[in-house]
Amino acid sequence: MSVSEIASLVAASGFVLLVLLLAVPILKLGKLIDRSSESLVQMTQEITPLISEVTVTLEETNRQLKKFDGISTDVASVTKSFASMFGVFSASVGGPLAKIAGLTGVVRKLFGKR
C-alpha cells in the first residue's frame, strides 16, 4: 500500500466517522419533528371544539346584550314619561295648592288680629 492509498483510507474513515457522528443529532431532530407534528395534531383536535363553544357563548352573550339594550331603552322611555307626568302633575296641582296656602295665610292673619 502506498502513502496515497493510506491517506485515502484515513480520509474515508474520517468521513465515515463524521457521517456517523452527524447521524445521531439528525435522527434526534427527526424524532423531535415527529413529536411536534403529533402534538400539533392533538392540539388542533382539542382546540377545535373549544373554539366552537366560545363562538356559541359569544353569540348567546350578544343576544342577551341586545335584550338588555331593549330593556334599558324601555326603562329610559318610562323614566322620561314619568318625569313628564310628574311635571304635569306638579304644574296642575302645585299652582292651586300654592294659592290655597296663600289663602290660608291670609285667613289666619284676619282671624289672628281679632
pLDDT for res 112: 75
The per-residue DSSP string of the chain comes to --HHHHHHHHHHHHHHHHHHHHHHHHHHHHHHHHHHHHHHHHHHHHHHHHHHHHHHHHHHHHHHHHHHHHHHHHHHHHHHHHHHHHHHHHHHHHHHHHHHHHHHHHHHHHHHH-
With cut-offs at 50, 70 and 90, classify the pLDDT of residue 114: low
List, for residues 87-113, the tens digit of each pLDDT value: 888 777 777 777 788 888 888 888 876
pLDDT in tens, 33-52: 999 999 999 999 999 999 99
